[in-house]
Every structure is written in C-alpha cells, then in structure tokens.
Amino acid sequence: MAEPELISTPFTAASTADDVLRGFDLTGVRALVTGGSSGIGAETARALTAAGAEVTLAVRNTTAGDTVAESIRDSTGRIRPRVAPLDLADTAAVARFAEAWQGPLHLLINNAGVVTGGLERTREGWEVQFATNHLGHFALALGLRGALARGASGRGGARIVAVSSTAHMRAGVDFDDLHFEHRSYDPQIAYAQSKTANSLFAVEATRRWAADGIVANTVNPGGVSTGLQRNFTPRQRQSLDAAEAAGVFTYKTVEQGAATGIVAAVCPAFAHSGGHYLDDAQEAYTVPNDADLAQHPHGVKEWALDPGLARRLWAVSADLLHA
C-alpha cells in the first residue's frame, strides 16, 4: 500500500508567524496558549492577538504574563490578552483552571515546557518533565474538552496544537519506568520521552475527539534560544552545541519558531485532519526508530505516531491522574 501523501504548505523554515497569518481574520476565535509569558508562547500569543483572536495566557508567573499582555496590547492595538495562573505540574491547579474556564474554546496551544538539569519529582512522585510537559497538558485538554467541543460546534472545528521537539528522536516512552524509578536518570532522555508523549497525545486525541470536531496536531518549532535552556547543565549545552555543529538544526528567530505552530492552528489543510507531526511548516516524513538524528533532522520517529502506543499512553496517563 502506498504511503499517504504528506500535507504541504507554502511556508518554510524562514517564515514567521505573521507570514502565516497574513490574510486571516481570527475575530471571534478564543485561544489559550500555555507558557505564554516568554519565548515562542509569547510570540504565538502576540501573532494570534494581532490577527483578531481573543487570547488567554496560561502561565506560572502572572507578573511576567501581565508584562507580556501589556506589550501585546501596545504593539498590536488589539484587546489585551487575559492572564491566568496555571502550574502544569500541579494536578489540582490544572483542575481548577479547567473548571473556571467559561464559554467555548477554539484553539488550545500546549506550548509550555520545562527542562531540568537533574531528577526532580512532583508531590505524587512523578518525574517533573513528564509530569509538566505531558501529564499537565493531558489533564488540561481533558478538562477543556467540553469547551473545545462547544467551540467546534460554533465554528465548524476546534484545534489543539501540541509543541514537541526534535528531541523526541532520542527516546520513546518507557512504559516500564515512566518516572525513572529503576533506571539511571538522564534529563535529556526524560525530556525526549515527554516530547514523544506530546506527539502520541495528539494522535489519540484526534482518534477520540474528531467526531466532535476536535483535532490535534504536533509541531516541532525548531531551534530557538528561549528560557527553556536556562536550566541546562554543561553536558546538555555541549550536546546542543554538538547537534548544531552536526547540522541537526539551525537557530531560528522566535518569530520563525512560532510559525509552525501557527500553521497547525490556522491553515485549512489541518482544519479537520489530526495526528500529524509538522516540522518547518510542513508535515514531516516518518523514519524508523533506529534512524540517526543527524541524518534525519526533519523527520519524526515511528514511536511518536504509533496508534497503539498512543492508546496505551492515554490509558496510562488517565490512570495516573485518577490514582
């Protein structure tokens, strides 16, 4: 059987979020951006606001969020984004956030992420990168499913954008030791596992929710220097430098880094089609799990799109949250 044709767009690695949104009027679209107080999240929120969307910034640091919201209002001349506190590593905080949400939601951008330099755990004993990057966003999406369904009903569809990373190619999900209770801790492998989980979430969310008009897609924003790297150890920095030298990535501006997420958020080709992984504004080609990252810097590994693994991760995640 022939492989399905990959979805392409007219945009490239050099495109910016504003390039993608040119010609779009997002008046009436309600968007939620996690991690919107800096970096790619802040630029995503700015671009959406400039196009007319009503944006909420879900952030841990509301002071920083307010600063970004004021800047967005001043630079766009649009309505100031709303700022709401959200700690994705705190399950109770995620539940409170979802319960407090009022009205429909048309666009959920799961952008927030953490990188740790060593092993950290939540109060449940979960490894922090997996808990924040995957489980927190998973719980948030579950809690907002009703709002997304209302958004889809009113505008003919709702979208979720899961922000992943080239790092997913380093590791799949270790279902036998999700929280590094038995294996030696490697923060890079832990981060990679969480980024693979982001993609698997999009696959299964689409399968479960497409009938309600909700689709989810995964994006790799590419190499962008943001606050995400602030906790890097010397070893992590050396690894990043080596990857850049090997041609795995070329640094983008934050405006370019936000573009692929905006493609997934607004381009017609992804309005009713989910479970895709985008890189440099295009659907990425799939590579075997043993493929070398340096040779396939714009690919997506099979373990990040496997429907069986996606269903398994969903069930395990739901069990953890209800334990």
What CA–CA distance (Å, rounded) separates 280 from 263?
A: 10
Torsions phi, psi of 297, nearest 5?
A: -65, -15
Active-site annotation holder among 191, 251, 277, 285: 191
The CB-side HSE value for 227 (13 A sphere, CA atoms) comes to 13
Check if 285 is active-site.
Answer: no
Phi, psi of 84 (to 5 degrees): -135, 140
Phi, psi angle pair for 80, to nearest 5° = -60, 130
DSSP string, 35-67: TTTSHHHHHHHHHHHHTT-EEEEEES-HHHHHH
Instruction: Name the CA radius of gyration of the chain, rounded.
Output: 18
Q: How far is CA 117 from CA 114, 126, 132, 189, 191, in A?
A: 10, 16, 15, 11, 10
* Phi–psi pair at 144, nearest 5 degrees: -100, 10
- What is the C-alpha to C-alpha distance for residues 49 and 320, in angstroms, rounded to an integer? 35
Cα–Cα distance, 181 to 164 (Å, whole number): 24
Structure tokens at 159: 């979208």
CA distance 266 to 261: 9
Return left, alpha or beta for 314; rule: phi > 0 is left, psi -120 to 50 is alpha, else beta: alpha
Give me the active site residues, please: 191
